[in-house]
Structure 1
Amino acid sequence: MRLTRPILTATAAAAVLALTGCGSGGDGDDKAAVPATASGSLEHLAAEVGCKPTIQIDADELRQASCRKSDADGKFILATFATDRGQREWINGAKDYGGHYLVGRKWVAVGETTKTVSALRATLGGDVEEGQDHSAHSGSH
């Protein structure tokens, strides 16, 4: 299955909205030591953080799954990409919808909160990126 740019953006937006809605729900930045950035398949990355992925998209360009860790770190979306460009297009499209992103080489984890992303970063490494904050836009979500 080939995914077009509009489809990649739509799947990115759906992933973020499924997790975050409009609000941001972080409660601080963890400054713990960050390990070297992990790499590997979606299943390998999921195993590293102790979750069994529920595959949502299984295509040549993008594999995406939802995960919930057994501890209290919350749920998150994990996606792997065939190309760096595909990954960046997905992230850029998703950021318009808010969210907290942990970005590695050809993978991204989207967490419900900053705490979730920080906990994942302690195992997977990577760089934290933030989407737009929609909490100031309207009184109801």
Structure 2
Amino acid sequence: MRVTRLLPAAAAVLALAGCGSGGDAKSVPPTATGSLESLAAEVKCKPNMQTDADEIRQAICRNGDGKFILATFATDRGQREWINDAKDYGGFYLVGRKWVAVGDDGVVKALRGTLGGDVEIGTDHHAHHG
């Protein structure tokens, strides 16, 4: 199964999330590691599994900060390919070792306060007209 088939789910969450809110940068903890379930437990969400494959496990999560996609990957390369393809849809990505959380700006900033990681920003298509 190609990882790019999973991008529409991430795009749907981004569309539902709307515009993010700003926020003050907090002290960033060390980047979390672990299974999708352990990462979800750290941010107090019960994952709604969407994909459970050897290459990627992906779930929709919701907690007090909002709704987001949480995905874990079997390889660093698979993760990077997924992120690079997904960034074409815009959005905000919190990236750890073999995991990513995708949501609006405010959600990603809040998750970073618990999970650590690096924030990456997708392509902004707001100025494009079709």
- Give the aligned CA root-mean-square deviation in angstroms: 1.8
Pair 23,125 (structure 1): closer, same or farther in 2 beyond 3 Å: closer
Match of 2:67 among 71, 75, 82: 75
Aligned to 1:42: 36
Gaps of 5+ in 2: none
Match of 1:58 among 52, 56, 66: 52
Give deviations 1:26-69, integer Å, cap 9, x for gaps: 22253110000000000000000000000000001100000000
Write out aligned runs for 1:1-141 (5 A).
3=1, 7-11=2-6, 13-21=7-15, 25-69=19-63, 71=64, 73-111=65-103, 113-138=104-129
When the two structures are aligned, how many residues end up with a matched partner? 130
**Partner of 2:93: helix, strand, or coil?**
strand
Pair 22,56 (structure 1): closer, same or farther in 2 beyond 3 Å: closer
C-alpha deviation, 1:21, in angstroms: 2.6
**Partner of 2:58: helix, strand, or coil?**
strand
Q: TM-score, normalised by structure 2?
A: 0.93
C-alpha deviation, 1:104, in angstroms: 0.1
Letter in 2 for 1:134: H
Does the CA contact (< 8 Å) of 1:99 and 1:110 recur in 2?
Answer: yes
CA distance in 1, matches of 2:15, 2:111: 20
Letter in 1 for 2:4: T
Percent of residue pairs identical: 66
